[in-house]
Chain A
Amino acid sequence: MNWLGLLIIIIQSFVIALAVTTAFAYLTLFERRLLARFQNRVGPNRAGPNGFLQPVADAVKLFFKEDIVPSAADKAVYLLAPAIAVIPAIIIWAVIPFGCLNIDWNYQACFAESSSGVNNILQIADINVGVLYLLAITSIGVYGITLAGWASNNKYSMMGGIRSTAQLISYELALGTAVLAVVMTFSTLSTHELVYHQGVLWGIVPQFLAFVIFMIASTAEVVRAPFDLVEAEQELVGGYNTEYGSMKFALFFMTEYIKLIAVSAMAVTFFFGGWRFPGLEMLGAGMEELAGPVVASIAVGLASLGSFLLKLVGFLFLSVWIRASWPRIRYDRLMDLGWKWLLPLGLINLAATAVAFVLIESFVLASFMLLAFSLLSLAIAAGINRVPKPIDNVTYVSDVRSRAETGQ
Protein backbone atom coordinates (compact mmCIF):
# COMPACT_ATOMS: atom_id res chain seq x y z
CA MET A 1 0.00 0.00 0.00
CA ASN A 2 1.20 3.39 -0.97
CA TRP A 3 1.19 5.61 2.13
CA LEU A 4 0.83 8.84 0.19
CA GLY A 5 -2.20 7.42 -1.61
CA LEU A 6 -3.68 6.39 1.73
CA LEU A 7 -3.12 9.88 3.11
CA ILE A 8 -4.81 11.44 0.09
CA ILE A 9 -7.81 9.14 0.54
CA ILE A 10 -8.07 10.04 4.23
CA ILE A 11 -7.99 13.76 3.43
CA GLN A 12 -10.57 13.30 0.69
CA SER A 13 -12.85 11.43 3.06
CA PHE A 14 -12.57 14.14 5.70
CA VAL A 15 -13.27 16.88 3.21
CA ILE A 16 -16.30 15.12 1.80
CA ALA A 17 -17.72 14.25 5.22
CA LEU A 18 -17.36 17.85 6.36
CA ALA A 19 -18.66 19.26 3.08
CA VAL A 20 -21.69 17.03 3.21
CA THR A 21 -22.56 17.97 6.79
CA THR A 22 -22.16 21.65 5.96
CA ALA A 23 -24.33 21.14 2.91
CA PHE A 24 -26.93 19.59 5.21
CA ALA A 25 -26.90 22.61 7.50
CA TYR A 26 -27.41 25.02 4.65
CA LEU A 27 -29.92 22.78 2.93
CA THR A 28 -32.18 23.19 5.96
CA LEU A 29 -31.94 26.95 5.59
CA PHE A 30 -32.47 26.71 1.83
CA GLU A 31 -35.53 24.58 2.37
CA ARG A 32 -37.05 26.73 5.09
CA ARG A 33 -36.59 29.94 3.13
CA LEU A 34 -37.95 28.39 -0.05
CA LEU A 35 -40.91 26.80 1.70
CA ALA A 36 -41.67 30.15 3.22
CA ARG A 37 -41.64 31.70 -0.24
CA PHE A 38 -43.94 29.00 -1.55
CA GLN A 39 -46.33 29.61 1.32
CA ASN A 40 -46.17 33.39 1.06
CA ARG A 41 -44.22 33.85 4.31
CA VAL A 42 -40.83 35.35 5.05
CA GLY A 43 -39.04 32.45 6.70
CA PRO A 44 -36.08 32.58 9.09
CA ASN A 45 -34.24 35.82 8.35
CA ARG A 46 -33.15 37.08 11.79
CA ALA A 47 -29.86 35.31 12.52
CA GLY A 48 -27.28 36.97 10.34
CA PRO A 49 -27.90 38.50 6.93
CA ASN A 50 -30.85 36.74 5.29
CA GLY A 51 -30.84 34.14 8.06
CA PHE A 52 -27.39 32.99 7.05
CA LEU A 53 -26.44 32.05 10.62
CA GLN A 54 -29.69 30.19 11.31
CA PRO A 55 -28.11 26.71 10.88
CA VAL A 56 -25.40 27.66 13.38
CA ALA A 57 -28.02 28.82 15.86
CA ASP A 58 -29.94 25.57 15.36
CA ALA A 59 -26.82 23.52 15.93
CA VAL A 60 -26.01 25.39 19.14
CA LYS A 61 -29.56 24.92 20.36
CA LEU A 62 -29.46 21.19 19.68
CA PHE A 63 -26.08 20.83 21.38
CA PHE A 64 -27.28 22.38 24.60
CA LYS A 65 -30.56 20.53 24.87
CA GLU A 66 -30.86 17.98 27.64
CA ASP A 67 -30.04 14.50 26.46
CA ILE A 68 -32.58 12.06 27.87
CA VAL A 69 -32.52 8.29 27.48
CA PRO A 70 -35.97 6.81 28.17
CA SER A 71 -35.80 4.41 31.10
CA ALA A 72 -37.73 1.69 29.27
CA ALA A 73 -35.58 1.90 26.16
CA ASP A 74 -33.15 -0.77 25.07
CA LYS A 75 -30.05 1.26 25.99
CA ALA A 76 -27.46 -0.20 23.64
CA VAL A 77 -29.60 -0.21 20.52
CA TYR A 78 -31.07 3.17 21.41
CA LEU A 79 -27.62 4.72 21.52
CA LEU A 80 -26.40 2.86 18.46
CA ALA A 81 -29.34 3.66 16.17
CA PRO A 82 -28.42 7.27 15.27
CA ALA A 83 -24.90 6.18 14.35
CA ILE A 84 -26.19 3.28 12.26
CA ALA A 85 -28.46 5.75 10.50
CA VAL A 86 -25.86 8.37 9.73
CA ILE A 87 -22.99 6.13 8.57
CA PRO A 88 -24.59 4.86 5.32
CA ALA A 89 -25.69 8.39 4.47
CA ILE A 90 -22.07 9.53 4.54
CA ILE A 91 -20.25 6.53 3.04
CA ILE A 92 -22.58 6.53 0.04
CA TRP A 93 -20.61 9.53 -1.27
CA ALA A 94 -17.48 7.45 -1.85
CA VAL A 95 -18.27 6.52 -5.45
CA ILE A 96 -20.00 9.67 -6.65
CA PRO A 97 -17.85 11.69 -9.07
CA PHE A 98 -18.14 15.37 -8.19
CA GLY A 99 -16.09 16.45 -11.14
CA CYS A 100 -12.92 15.47 -12.89
CA LEU A 101 -9.62 16.95 -11.78
CA ASN A 102 -6.76 14.82 -13.01
CA ILE A 103 -3.82 15.07 -10.64
CA ASP A 104 -1.37 14.04 -13.34
CA TRP A 105 -2.37 17.28 -15.10
CA ASN A 106 -3.77 15.48 -18.12
CA TYR A 107 -7.32 16.70 -18.57
CA GLN A 108 -7.86 14.40 -21.55
CA ALA A 109 -7.83 11.37 -19.24
CA CYS A 110 -11.22 12.54 -17.99
CA PHE A 111 -12.65 12.06 -21.45
CA ALA A 112 -11.18 8.63 -22.04
CA GLU A 113 -13.36 5.58 -21.78
CA SER A 114 -11.10 3.54 -19.55
CA SER A 115 -11.29 4.71 -15.97
CA SER A 116 -7.97 3.14 -14.99
CA GLY A 117 -5.75 6.17 -15.62
CA VAL A 118 -8.08 8.90 -14.53
CA ASN A 119 -6.56 9.65 -11.10
CA ASN A 120 -9.54 11.83 -10.43
CA ILE A 121 -9.16 13.68 -7.13
CA LEU A 122 -12.83 14.66 -7.13
CA GLN A 123 -14.00 11.07 -6.70
CA ILE A 124 -12.79 8.98 -3.77
CA ALA A 125 -13.19 5.49 -5.18
CA ASP A 126 -13.71 4.54 -8.80
CA ILE A 127 -14.65 0.89 -8.35
CA ASN A 128 -15.98 -1.33 -11.10
CA VAL A 129 -19.22 -1.96 -9.19
CA GLY A 130 -19.94 1.65 -8.21
CA VAL A 131 -23.62 1.55 -9.10
CA LEU A 132 -24.15 -1.66 -7.13
CA TYR A 133 -22.35 -0.07 -4.20
CA LEU A 134 -24.80 2.82 -4.27
CA LEU A 135 -27.73 0.40 -4.25
CA ALA A 136 -26.22 -1.71 -1.48
CA ILE A 137 -25.62 1.27 0.78
CA THR A 138 -29.12 2.64 0.15
CA SER A 139 -30.51 -0.73 1.15
CA ILE A 140 -28.76 -0.78 4.53
CA GLY A 141 -29.91 2.76 5.28
CA VAL A 142 -33.18 1.45 6.67
CA TYR A 143 -31.58 -0.03 9.80
CA GLY A 144 -31.11 3.19 11.70
CA ILE A 145 -34.75 4.18 11.39
CA THR A 146 -36.10 0.71 12.15
CA LEU A 147 -33.90 0.20 15.18
CA ALA A 148 -34.60 3.67 16.53
CA GLY A 149 -38.30 2.91 16.35
CA TRP A 150 -37.90 -0.40 18.12
CA ALA A 151 -35.39 0.63 20.78
CA SER A 152 -37.39 3.65 21.95
CA ASN A 153 -40.05 1.33 23.38
CA ASN A 154 -42.80 3.71 22.35
CA LYS A 155 -45.77 2.71 20.25
CA TYR A 156 -45.57 5.73 17.99
CA SER A 157 -41.88 5.23 17.37
CA MET A 158 -42.53 1.57 16.69
CA MET A 159 -45.23 2.39 14.15
CA GLY A 160 -42.85 4.79 12.47
CA GLY A 161 -40.14 2.15 12.35
CA ILE A 162 -42.44 -0.50 10.91
CA ARG A 163 -43.84 1.89 8.34
CA SER A 164 -40.35 2.85 7.26
CA THR A 165 -39.29 -0.77 6.82
CA ALA A 166 -42.35 -1.60 4.74
CA GLN A 167 -41.95 1.51 2.63
CA LEU A 168 -38.24 1.14 2.01
CA ILE A 169 -38.51 -2.52 1.06
CA SER A 170 -41.32 -1.73 -1.36
CA TYR A 171 -39.60 1.09 -3.15
CA GLU A 172 -36.14 -0.43 -3.27
CA LEU A 173 -37.23 -2.78 -6.04
CA ALA A 174 -38.55 -0.01 -8.24
CA LEU A 175 -35.38 1.99 -7.60
CA GLY A 176 -33.32 -1.05 -8.55
CA THR A 177 -35.13 -1.54 -11.87
CA ALA A 178 -34.68 2.12 -12.76
CA VAL A 179 -30.96 2.02 -12.03
CA LEU A 180 -30.55 -1.30 -13.82
CA ALA A 181 -32.08 0.17 -16.98
CA VAL A 182 -29.47 2.95 -16.90
CA VAL A 183 -26.73 0.37 -16.41
CA MET A 184 -28.04 -1.57 -19.42
CA THR A 185 -28.11 1.54 -21.56
CA PHE A 186 -24.50 2.47 -20.92
CA SER A 187 -23.37 -1.12 -20.23
CA THR A 188 -21.16 -0.25 -17.28
CA LEU A 189 -21.36 -0.36 -13.49
CA SER A 190 -18.65 2.20 -12.89
CA THR A 191 -19.88 5.69 -12.11
CA HIS A 192 -17.02 7.34 -13.98
CA GLU A 193 -17.80 5.39 -17.13
CA LEU A 194 -21.50 6.21 -16.75
CA VAL A 195 -20.59 9.87 -16.85
CA TYR A 196 -18.21 9.30 -19.75
CA HIS A 197 -20.87 7.56 -21.85
CA GLN A 198 -23.28 10.42 -21.33
CA GLY A 199 -21.10 12.62 -23.52
CA VAL A 200 -23.30 11.83 -26.52
CA LEU A 201 -26.69 12.04 -24.89
CA TRP A 202 -27.64 12.54 -21.27
CA GLY A 203 -29.21 9.52 -19.62
CA ILE A 204 -32.60 11.16 -19.38
CA VAL A 205 -33.18 10.82 -23.13
CA PRO A 206 -32.98 7.03 -23.48
CA GLN A 207 -34.20 6.44 -19.94
CA PHE A 208 -36.95 8.95 -19.38
CA LEU A 209 -39.25 6.34 -17.87
CA ALA A 210 -36.46 5.18 -15.57
CA PHE A 211 -35.89 8.80 -14.56
CA VAL A 212 -39.53 9.24 -13.53
CA ILE A 213 -39.45 5.96 -11.61
CA PHE A 214 -36.15 6.90 -9.99
CA MET A 215 -37.42 10.28 -8.87
CA ILE A 216 -40.57 8.84 -7.28
CA ALA A 217 -38.82 5.84 -5.73
CA SER A 218 -35.90 7.86 -4.40
CA THR A 219 -38.24 10.40 -2.82
CA ALA A 220 -39.89 7.47 -1.08
CA GLU A 221 -36.51 6.01 -0.11
CA VAL A 222 -35.49 9.18 1.70
CA VAL A 223 -38.99 9.44 3.22
CA ARG A 224 -39.57 12.97 1.98
CA ALA A 225 -42.98 14.49 1.42
CA PRO A 226 -45.30 13.31 -0.11
CA PHE A 227 -44.04 9.91 1.11
CA ASP A 228 -43.23 10.91 4.70
CA LEU A 229 -45.68 8.58 6.44
CA VAL A 230 -42.80 7.43 8.57
CA GLU A 231 -42.88 10.66 10.52
CA ALA A 232 -46.43 11.80 9.94
CA GLU A 233 -46.77 14.33 12.74
CA GLN A 234 -50.54 14.24 12.87
CA GLU A 235 -50.62 10.47 13.42
CA LEU A 236 -47.34 9.49 15.01
CA VAL A 237 -46.19 12.52 17.04
CA GLY A 238 -42.80 12.48 15.32
CA GLY A 239 -42.42 8.92 14.13
CA TYR A 240 -39.30 6.90 14.82
CA ASN A 241 -37.41 9.83 16.37
CA THR A 242 -40.07 10.78 18.92
CA GLU A 243 -37.98 9.65 21.88
CA TYR A 244 -34.74 11.20 20.67
CA GLY A 245 -33.50 14.57 21.73
CA SER A 246 -30.45 16.78 21.50
CA MET A 247 -27.65 15.64 19.19
CA LYS A 248 -29.16 12.21 18.66
CA PHE A 249 -32.18 13.83 17.10
CA ALA A 250 -29.86 16.07 15.11
CA LEU A 251 -28.14 12.96 13.72
CA PHE A 252 -31.45 11.61 12.39
CA PHE A 253 -32.27 14.99 10.96
CA MET A 254 -28.86 15.07 9.34
CA THR A 255 -29.24 11.56 7.92
CA GLU A 256 -32.45 12.48 6.23
CA TYR A 257 -31.07 15.54 4.52
CA ILE A 258 -27.74 13.98 3.57
CA LYS A 259 -29.62 11.08 2.01
CA LEU A 260 -31.70 13.58 0.07
CA ILE A 261 -28.55 15.24 -1.26
CA ALA A 262 -27.10 11.81 -2.03
CA VAL A 263 -30.06 10.60 -4.10
CA SER A 264 -30.08 13.93 -5.91
CA ALA A 265 -26.40 13.41 -6.71
CA MET A 266 -27.24 9.91 -7.91
CA ALA A 267 -29.97 11.34 -10.16
CA VAL A 268 -27.48 13.83 -11.59
CA THR A 269 -24.92 11.09 -12.20
CA PHE A 270 -27.37 8.66 -13.79
CA PHE A 271 -29.60 10.93 -15.82
CA PHE A 272 -28.07 14.38 -16.21
CA GLY A 273 -24.57 13.64 -17.34
CA GLY A 274 -22.87 13.93 -13.94
CA TRP A 275 -20.22 16.63 -14.15
CA ARG A 276 -20.40 16.94 -17.93
CA PHE A 277 -21.73 19.83 -19.88
CA PRO A 278 -21.46 20.58 -23.61
CA GLY A 279 -18.23 22.38 -24.40
CA LEU A 280 -16.27 21.14 -21.38
CA GLU A 281 -13.76 19.33 -23.56
CA MET A 282 -13.40 22.43 -25.73
CA LEU A 283 -12.72 24.48 -22.61
CA GLY A 284 -9.95 22.05 -21.67
CA ALA A 285 -8.38 22.23 -25.14
CA GLY A 286 -8.58 26.02 -25.20
CA MET A 287 -7.02 26.40 -21.78
CA GLU A 288 -4.24 24.00 -22.64
CA GLU A 289 -3.36 26.06 -25.69
CA LEU A 290 -3.47 29.28 -23.70
CA ALA A 291 -1.83 28.36 -20.42
CA GLY A 292 -0.55 24.80 -20.46
CA PRO A 293 -1.78 21.47 -19.14
CA VAL A 294 -1.82 22.32 -15.41
CA VAL A 295 -4.19 25.24 -15.83
CA ALA A 296 -6.25 23.24 -18.32
CA SER A 297 -6.85 20.36 -15.96
CA ILE A 298 -7.60 22.68 -13.03
CA ALA A 299 -10.04 24.63 -15.21
CA VAL A 300 -11.75 21.44 -16.33
CA GLY A 301 -11.88 20.27 -12.71
CA LEU A 302 -13.43 23.46 -11.39
CA ALA A 303 -15.86 23.79 -14.30
CA SER A 304 -17.00 20.20 -13.94
CA LEU A 305 -17.38 20.56 -10.18
CA GLY A 306 -19.42 23.70 -10.72
CA SER A 307 -21.65 22.08 -13.27
CA PHE A 308 -22.25 19.10 -10.97
CA LEU A 309 -23.13 21.33 -8.03
CA LEU A 310 -25.42 23.46 -10.16
CA LYS A 311 -27.37 20.41 -11.31
CA LEU A 312 -27.47 19.18 -7.72
CA VAL A 313 -28.97 22.44 -6.48
CA GLY A 314 -31.54 22.19 -9.27
CA PHE A 315 -32.62 18.80 -7.95
CA LEU A 316 -32.74 20.03 -4.37
CA PHE A 317 -34.93 22.91 -5.45
CA LEU A 318 -37.21 20.44 -7.20
CA SER A 319 -37.44 18.40 -4.04
CA VAL A 320 -38.43 21.41 -1.93
CA TRP A 321 -40.93 22.39 -4.59
CA ILE A 322 -42.49 18.92 -4.46
CA ARG A 323 -42.68 19.09 -0.69
CA ALA A 324 -44.45 22.41 -0.87
CA SER A 325 -46.89 21.25 -3.52
CA TRP A 326 -48.16 17.81 -2.61
CA PRO A 327 -50.09 16.56 0.42
CA ARG A 328 -49.05 13.33 2.07
CA ILE A 329 -50.10 10.21 0.18
CA ARG A 330 -52.43 7.69 1.85
CA TYR A 331 -50.82 4.46 3.01
CA ASP A 332 -52.67 2.05 0.73
CA ARG A 333 -51.93 4.27 -2.24
CA LEU A 334 -48.27 4.33 -1.28
CA MET A 335 -48.13 0.54 -1.46
CA ASP A 336 -50.27 0.56 -4.59
CA LEU A 337 -47.97 2.99 -6.37
CA GLY A 338 -44.84 1.04 -5.46
CA TRP A 339 -45.96 -2.46 -6.27
CA LYS A 340 -48.66 -2.07 -8.90
CA TRP A 341 -47.30 0.84 -10.93
CA LEU A 342 -43.62 1.58 -10.46
CA LEU A 343 -42.37 -2.01 -10.37
CA PRO A 344 -44.28 -3.20 -13.52
CA LEU A 345 -43.33 0.00 -15.34
CA GLY A 346 -39.71 -0.56 -14.36
CA LEU A 347 -39.80 -4.14 -15.65
CA ILE A 348 -41.42 -3.06 -18.93
CA ASN A 349 -38.73 -0.42 -19.26
CA LEU A 350 -36.01 -3.04 -18.74
CA ALA A 351 -37.47 -5.22 -21.49
CA ALA A 352 -37.88 -2.26 -23.84
CA THR A 353 -34.30 -1.12 -23.21
CA ALA A 354 -32.93 -4.55 -23.98
CA VAL A 355 -34.95 -4.89 -27.18
CA ALA A 356 -34.22 -1.38 -28.42
CA PHE A 357 -30.47 -1.57 -28.05
CA VAL A 358 -30.23 -5.00 -29.63
CA LEU A 359 -32.55 -4.21 -32.55
CA ILE A 360 -31.36 -0.72 -33.42
CA GLU A 361 -27.71 -0.27 -34.25
CA SER A 362 -27.42 3.48 -33.72
CA PHE A 363 -27.32 4.60 -30.08
CA VAL A 364 -28.96 7.95 -30.76
CA LEU A 365 -31.81 6.49 -32.79
CA ALA A 366 -32.46 3.80 -30.18
CA SER A 367 -32.42 6.46 -27.46
CA PHE A 368 -35.07 8.52 -29.15
CA MET A 369 -37.17 5.43 -29.82
CA LEU A 370 -36.97 4.66 -26.12
CA LEU A 371 -37.90 8.23 -25.25
CA ALA A 372 -41.02 7.94 -27.41
CA PHE A 373 -41.82 4.60 -25.80
CA SER A 374 -41.36 6.08 -22.32
CA LEU A 375 -43.69 8.97 -22.99
CA LEU A 376 -46.26 6.64 -24.47
CA SER A 377 -46.19 4.19 -21.58
CA LEU A 378 -46.30 7.00 -19.01
CA ALA A 379 -49.33 8.46 -20.76
CA ILE A 380 -51.04 5.07 -20.81
CA ALA A 381 -50.20 4.43 -17.15
CA ALA A 382 -51.50 7.83 -16.12
CA GLY A 383 -54.64 7.19 -18.14
CA ILE A 384 -55.52 3.87 -16.55
CA ASN A 385 -54.37 4.78 -13.06
CA ARG A 386 -57.72 5.49 -11.55
CA VAL A 387 -57.45 4.10 -8.06
CA PRO A 388 -60.90 3.25 -6.71
CA LYS A 389 -61.92 3.85 -3.13
CA PRO A 390 -60.26 1.46 -0.70
CA ILE A 391 -62.44 -1.61 -0.38
CA ASP A 392 -61.08 -3.49 2.56
CA ASN A 393 -59.69 -1.24 5.20
CA VAL A 394 -62.54 1.24 5.55
CA THR A 395 -66.03 0.44 6.78
CA TYR A 396 -68.53 2.90 5.47
CA VAL A 397 -71.60 3.85 7.48
CA SER A 398 -73.78 3.01 4.51
CA ASP A 399 -72.35 -0.52 4.49
CA VAL A 400 -73.18 -1.04 8.14
CA ARG A 401 -76.69 0.23 7.64
CA SER A 402 -77.36 -1.93 4.63
CA ARG A 403 -75.98 -4.92 6.49
CA ALA A 404 -78.26 -4.19 9.43
CA GLU A 405 -81.23 -3.84 7.11
CA THR A 406 -80.68 -7.10 5.32
CA GLY A 407 -80.26 -8.75 8.71
CA GLN A 408 -76.75 -10.15 8.23
Chain B
Amino acid sequence: MDFVLFFLTAAIALAGAIAMLVARNAIHSALFLLLNFGAIAVLFLLLQSPFLFTIQLSIYAGAIMVLFLFVVMLLGAEQVEAAQDKLPWQQPLALVMGAGLLVIAVITAVRGGSNDAPPGGEAAEAFGDPASLGELLFTEYLLPFQITGIILLVAVIGVVVLNQQRTQAQSEETPGERPSSSVQP
Protein backbone atom coordinates (compact mmCIF):
# COMPACT_ATOMS: atom_id res chain seq x y z
CA MET B 1 0.00 0.00 0.00
CA ASP B 2 2.88 2.36 0.77
CA PHE B 3 4.26 1.54 -2.65
CA VAL B 4 1.04 2.46 -4.46
CA LEU B 5 0.67 5.61 -2.40
CA PHE B 6 4.24 6.61 -3.16
CA PHE B 7 3.84 6.31 -6.91
CA LEU B 8 0.49 8.06 -6.86
CA THR B 9 1.83 10.98 -4.85
CA ALA B 10 5.03 11.18 -6.84
CA ALA B 11 3.03 11.26 -10.06
CA ILE B 12 0.86 14.06 -8.71
CA ALA B 13 3.93 16.00 -7.58
CA LEU B 14 5.55 15.65 -11.00
CA ALA B 15 2.36 16.55 -12.83
CA GLY B 16 1.97 19.62 -10.63
CA ALA B 17 5.54 20.71 -11.27
CA ILE B 18 5.25 20.29 -15.04
CA ALA B 19 1.86 21.99 -15.17
CA MET B 20 3.26 24.88 -13.19
CA LEU B 21 5.90 25.44 -15.86
CA VAL B 22 3.46 25.15 -18.75
CA ALA B 23 0.55 27.19 -17.36
CA ARG B 24 0.12 30.56 -19.06
CA ASN B 25 -1.58 32.21 -16.12
CA ALA B 26 0.50 33.12 -13.08
CA ILE B 27 -2.27 32.25 -10.63
CA HIS B 28 -2.71 28.84 -12.23
CA SER B 29 1.05 28.32 -11.96
CA ALA B 30 0.93 29.20 -8.29
CA LEU B 31 -1.90 26.74 -7.74
CA PHE B 32 -0.03 23.94 -9.52
CA LEU B 33 3.00 24.69 -7.38
CA LEU B 34 0.72 24.42 -4.37
CA LEU B 35 -0.40 21.00 -5.57
CA ASN B 36 3.26 20.02 -5.87
CA PHE B 37 3.99 21.21 -2.31
CA GLY B 38 1.00 19.28 -1.01
CA ALA B 39 2.13 16.08 -2.73
CA ILE B 40 5.63 16.50 -1.32
CA ALA B 41 4.13 16.97 2.14
CA VAL B 42 2.38 13.62 1.71
CA LEU B 43 5.71 12.09 0.65
CA PHE B 44 7.19 13.28 3.95
CA LEU B 45 4.35 11.51 5.72
CA LEU B 46 5.21 8.31 3.85
CA LEU B 47 8.79 8.75 5.09
CA GLN B 48 7.51 8.64 8.69
CA SER B 49 8.17 12.30 9.43
CA PRO B 50 4.91 14.01 10.35
CA PHE B 51 6.86 16.99 11.66
CA LEU B 52 8.26 17.79 8.22
CA PHE B 53 4.76 17.27 6.80
CA THR B 54 3.27 19.99 8.98
CA ILE B 55 6.23 22.29 8.45
CA GLN B 56 5.99 21.82 4.69
CA LEU B 57 2.30 22.67 4.83
CA SER B 58 2.53 25.68 7.11
CA ILE B 59 5.72 27.25 5.70
CA TYR B 60 5.54 26.51 1.99
CA ALA B 61 1.83 26.13 1.39
CA GLY B 62 0.62 28.36 4.19
CA ALA B 63 3.06 31.24 4.09
CA ILE B 64 5.20 31.41 0.98
CA MET B 65 2.56 30.53 -1.60
CA VAL B 66 0.04 32.86 0.03
CA LEU B 67 2.54 35.70 -0.35
CA PHE B 68 3.15 34.73 -3.98
CA LEU B 69 -0.57 34.79 -4.69
CA PHE B 70 -0.95 38.04 -2.83
CA VAL B 71 1.77 39.75 -4.85
CA VAL B 72 0.53 38.38 -8.17
CA MET B 73 -3.00 39.52 -7.38
CA LEU B 74 -1.91 42.95 -6.16
CA LEU B 75 0.22 43.60 -9.22
CA GLY B 76 -2.38 42.16 -11.57
CA ALA B 77 0.42 40.27 -13.29
CA GLU B 78 -1.54 37.12 -14.07
CA GLN B 79 -0.95 37.09 -17.81
CA VAL B 80 2.34 36.19 -19.44
CA GLU B 81 4.01 39.26 -20.88
CA ALA B 82 4.61 39.29 -24.61
CA ALA B 83 7.88 41.20 -24.30
CA GLN B 84 11.20 39.82 -25.53
CA ASP B 85 13.11 37.63 -23.11
CA LYS B 86 15.97 39.72 -21.75
CA LEU B 87 18.10 36.73 -20.78
CA PRO B 88 18.22 34.56 -23.91
CA TRP B 89 21.03 32.36 -22.60
CA GLN B 90 18.98 31.45 -19.54
CA GLN B 91 16.79 28.76 -21.08
CA PRO B 92 19.45 26.53 -22.65
CA LEU B 93 21.57 26.83 -19.52
CA ALA B 94 18.65 25.79 -17.36
CA LEU B 95 17.99 22.83 -19.67
CA VAL B 96 21.61 21.67 -19.45
CA MET B 97 21.71 22.02 -15.67
CA GLY B 98 18.38 20.26 -15.28
CA ALA B 99 19.59 17.38 -17.43
CA GLY B 100 22.75 17.19 -15.31
CA LEU B 101 20.69 16.97 -12.12
CA LEU B 102 18.54 14.26 -13.65
CA VAL B 103 21.65 12.23 -14.60
CA ILE B 104 23.01 12.55 -11.07
CA ALA B 105 19.69 11.50 -9.58
CA VAL B 106 19.47 8.45 -11.84
CA ILE B 107 23.08 7.45 -11.10
CA THR B 108 22.44 7.75 -7.37
CA ALA B 109 19.29 5.72 -7.62
CA VAL B 110 20.97 2.98 -9.64
CA ARG B 111 24.18 2.81 -7.61
CA GLY B 112 22.64 3.25 -4.18
CA GLY B 113 20.34 0.30 -4.41
CA SER B 114 16.97 0.60 -2.78
CA ASN B 115 17.48 -2.26 -0.36
CA ASP B 116 20.48 -0.86 1.50
CA ALA B 117 20.08 0.61 4.95
CA PRO B 118 20.11 4.42 5.03
CA PRO B 119 23.60 5.89 5.58
CA GLY B 120 22.98 6.87 9.20
CA GLY B 121 22.15 3.31 10.19
CA GLU B 122 18.71 2.26 11.31
CA ALA B 123 16.31 5.06 12.09
CA ALA B 124 16.11 5.77 15.79
CA GLU B 125 12.99 5.17 17.84
CA ALA B 126 12.25 8.89 18.07
CA PHE B 127 12.96 9.53 14.39
CA GLY B 128 11.31 12.70 13.16
CA ASP B 129 9.97 13.44 16.61
CA PRO B 130 9.83 17.22 17.12
CA ALA B 131 11.44 16.97 20.56
CA SER B 132 14.51 15.12 19.34
CA LEU B 133 14.73 17.36 16.29
CA GLY B 134 14.63 20.45 18.50
CA GLU B 135 17.26 19.00 20.78
CA LEU B 136 19.60 18.41 17.84
CA LEU B 137 18.99 21.92 16.53
CA PHE B 138 19.90 23.46 19.85
CA THR B 139 22.95 21.31 20.55
CA GLU B 140 24.76 19.77 17.61
CA TYR B 141 23.55 22.13 14.90
CA LEU B 142 23.32 25.29 16.99
CA LEU B 143 25.74 27.29 14.82
CA PRO B 144 24.06 26.61 11.45
CA PHE B 145 20.70 27.22 13.09
CA GLN B 146 21.74 30.61 14.38
CA ILE B 147 23.43 31.54 11.12
CA THR B 148 20.15 30.82 9.35
CA GLY B 149 18.42 33.10 11.81
CA ILE B 150 20.92 35.88 11.15
CA ILE B 151 20.51 35.52 7.38
CA LEU B 152 16.76 35.90 7.77
CA LEU B 153 17.27 38.92 10.00
CA VAL B 154 19.55 40.48 7.37
CA ALA B 155 16.82 39.97 4.80
CA VAL B 156 14.28 41.71 7.02
CA ILE B 157 16.61 44.64 7.66
CA GLY B 158 17.35 44.82 3.93
CA VAL B 159 13.66 45.18 3.15
CA VAL B 160 13.29 47.97 5.67
CA VAL B 161 16.37 49.80 4.35
CA LEU B 162 15.32 49.51 0.71
CA ASN B 163 11.85 50.72 1.50
CA GLN B 164 13.24 53.61 3.52
CA GLN B 165 15.46 54.74 0.66
CA ARG B 166 12.59 54.77 -1.77
CA THR B 167 10.38 56.70 0.61
CA GLN B 168 13.08 59.30 1.11
CA ALA B 169 13.60 59.64 -2.62
CA GLN B 170 9.90 60.14 -3.09
CA SER B 171 9.63 62.71 -0.36
CA GLU B 172 12.51 64.66 -1.90
CA GLU B 173 10.79 64.67 -5.28
CA THR B 174 7.50 65.93 -3.91
CA PRO B 175 8.24 68.13 -0.92
CA GLY B 176 4.59 68.88 -0.28
CA GLU B 177 3.73 65.28 0.47
CA ARG B 178 3.89 63.81 3.92
CA PRO B 179 7.19 61.96 4.25
CA SER B 180 5.92 58.68 5.61
CA SER B 181 3.25 57.92 3.02
CA SER B 182 4.82 55.45 0.69
CA VAL B 183 1.68 54.61 -1.27
CA GLN B 184 0.59 57.31 -3.66
CA PRO B 185 -3.12 57.47 -4.39
Taking beta carbons and an 8 Å cutoff, which residues of A are in contact with B?
Answer: 1, 74, 76-77, 127-129, 132-133, 135-140, 142-143, 146-147, 149-150, 158, 161-162, 165-166, 168-169, 172, 189, 391-393, 403, 408
In the complex, the chain A residue whose C-beta lies closest to that of B27 is A150
**A132 and B58 contacting across the interface, CB-CB below 8 Å:** yes
Q: Are A139 and B73 in contact (CB under 8 A)?
A: no
Complex CA gap A170/B97 in Å reads: 38
On whether the beta carbons of B57 and A129 are closer than 8 Å, the reply is: no
Contacts across chains A and B counted by CB atoms under 8 Å:
86
B67 contacts partner chain A, Cβ-Cβ < 8 Å? yes
Chain B, residue nearest A408 (CB) = B176
Whether B50 contacts A128 by the Cβ 8 Å rule is yes
Contact yes or no, A140 B180, CB < 8 A: no
The verdict on B178 contacting chain A, using a C-beta distance below 8 Å, is yes
Q: Is the CB of B129 within 8 A of A392?
A: no
Write out the residue numbers on chain B whose beta carbons fall within 8 Å of the beta carbon of A1.
1
**Residue pair A136, B57 in contact (C-beta under 8 Å):** yes
Question: Cβ of B66: which chain A residues have Cβ within 8 Å of it?
Answer: 139, 142-143, 146, 165, 168-169
A-side contacts of B178, CB under 8 Å: 391-392
Nearest 10 A/B pairs, CB to CB: A139-B62, A136-B57, A136-B58, A132-B54, A136-B54, A392-B181, A165-B70, A139-B58, A129-B50, A140-B62
B29 to nearest A CB, angstroms? 12
**Set of chain B residues within 8 Å of A129, measured between Cβ atoms:** 50-51, 53-54, 130
Q: Do A127 and B61 touch (CB < 8 A)?
A: no
Complex-state Cα separation, A403 to B58, whole angstroms = 49
**Docked complex Cα distance between A132 and B181 (Å):** 38
Q: Are A132 and B63 in contact (CB under 8 A)?
A: no
Instruction: Please give the distance in Å from B43's CB to the nearest CB on chain A.
Output: 16
Query: Contacts A162-B70, A166-B70, A391-B180 hold; do A132 and B51 have CB atoms under 8 A apart?
Result: yes
* Alpha-carbon separation in the docked complex, A138 to B126 (Å): 27
Verify if B69 is at the interface (C-beta below 8 Å from A): yes
A91 nearest CB across to chain B (Å):
11
Interfacial chain A residues near B17, Cβ < 8 Å: none
The answer to whether B50 and A165 have CB atoms under 8 Å apart is: no
* Distance in angstroms between the alpha carbons of A165 and B27 in the assembled complex: 15
Whether B46 sits at the interface, judged by CB under 8 Å, is: no
A128-B130, A165-B66, A392-B181 in contact; A139/B57 too (CB < 8 A)?
A: yes
